[in-house]
Amino acid sequence: MKIVKGQSLKKIESKTRYEGCSFYCAQAKKVSNSSFDHCSFRTGITFFNPRNCKFENCNFSEKFGLTLRLRPRQQLPLDISEFSELTHLDLMHNKLNKLPIKIERFSNLVQLDLCDNELTELPSEIGQLSNLTHLNLGNNRLKTLPSEIGQLLNLTYLDLGLNKIKVLPPEIGQFPNLTYLDLGFNNFENLPPEIGKLSNLTHLDLEDNELEMLPPEIGELSNLTHLNLGMNYLDSLPVNQLTKLVQLNCCCNYLSELQGISQLTSLIELDLSSNFLSQLQGIDQLSNLQKLNLSSNKLEVVPTEVNKLSNLTELDLSSNDGIEFSADIGKLQNLTILYLECCGITQLPTKIKQLSLLRELSLKQNKIGGKMRKKIKFLLPNTKVLFDKTFFELFTSEE
């Protein structure tokens, strides 16, 4: 084994004993059979798939990370315990069904990534990682969470998406610093009222669960800016107090009316697609709205409230069969993208020519004849207008 003493280095090699060296490198890939004695790592460093490495009396001034990508059926190396000073541990994409290490040994961890494995449970000792700020458990097979998870008081990021969790423990409310929480693609039927205690939360993802209602405490998340409620069973939205929201996704629910949405004046993006809406009271108060998806609802006419959204740049009204347009649609003069697919449209009002910034207009799956197609293209000479191909076009394209 080669011995290197007291040098400043930008590279780490295998089969080397380093004594009293200073390192200035961000990565060390596949280093094996090396040891470090009284060494100093002056910049943040991440070791990728190391083997048989030992650290004695070393100093890590910044990030000390370990990334392991294992072969199928390969177990975690036993010498991982040599990395007890780790601040970042990445075990993603390894098909692990349990943590075969005493996780509590890594008390300096601030970031732990375990997503895309096959974990069915977490050890209660995970609550001892008191310095943890980032915990990614997405895309596993978790059904429950240990109550000890509530001891992670410094968490700012928690990803539990793509699991099989049915019940969220009340300890979820014990994260005073949490800003990002992903609970999407689980089996939640309800949420505990303690969720309202996450006063610093800005991002909340609840997509694709089995929620029929939200607890009123959801309105206490006063700093929330992004909320995803898509693909649930909600028929009401108790979100009128969430005045800092800039993005709200409510697609694929059972909404037939909107209550209190007029107070969400910070909204920039709103997805209400695949619901049962026939009218949109109060939506005209959303003066900052830029993107609005109303596809697959029960709209018979374009609501006058929509035509007052002067900052709107993208509008999707597709799959509202038989929807009628008034000349007021020309008031949406900042519109750049307009989708009107599958609406049973045979013509459009002449005032559509006032949409001078329109870049794309999709009219696919409608019943627009050749003369009206020419008229629309004439009215919108700078717009990419998309129609279904005619029989002749289909025939010539095959040629």
The pLDDT of residue 390: 60
* Nearest partner of 122 among 141, 103, 104, 146, judged by Cα: 146
Phi first, then psi, for residue 78 (nearest 5°) are: -65, -30
CA 130 to chain centre: 25
The pLDDT of residue 103: 87
- Work out the average pLDDT over 47-54: 94
Decide if 320 is inside a domain: yes
> Model confidence over 279-337: pLDDT tens digits?
999 999 999 999 999 999 999 999 999 999 999 999 999 999 999 988 888 899 999 99
Residue at token pair 């909340």: 204
Decide if 282 is inside a domain: no
Please, which pLDDT band fits residue 73 given cuts at 50, 70 and 90?
low
* CATH number of the domain residue 312 falls in: 3.80.10.10
Q: How many CB atoms lie within 10 A of CB 68?
A: 19
Give percent helix, percent strand, percent coil of the chain, each to the nearest 5. Answer: 20, 20, 60
Please, which pLDDT band fits residue 361 given cuts at 50, 70 and 90?
very high
Decide if 84 is inside a domain: no
Q: Could you tell me the residue range of the domain that residue 324 belongs to?
A: 299-399
> Model confidence over 236-256: pLDDT tens digits?
998 999 999 999 999 999 999
Would you say residue 391 has pLDDT above 60? no
Decide if 171 is inside a domain: no
Q: Which residue has the higher pLDDT, 197 or 99?
A: 197
Decide if 236 is inside a domain: no
Decide if 315 is inside a domain: yes
Domains identified in the chain, total number = 1
Would you say residue 398 has pLDDT above 80? no
This prediction's pTM: 0.93
For residue 38, the 8-state DSSP code is S
Decide if 309 is inside a domain: yes
Residues of the chain with pLDDT > 90, as a percent, come to 85
- Work out the average pLDDT over 79-83: 80
The pLDDT of residue 107: 92
Q: How many CB atoms lie within 10 A of CB 98?
A: 12
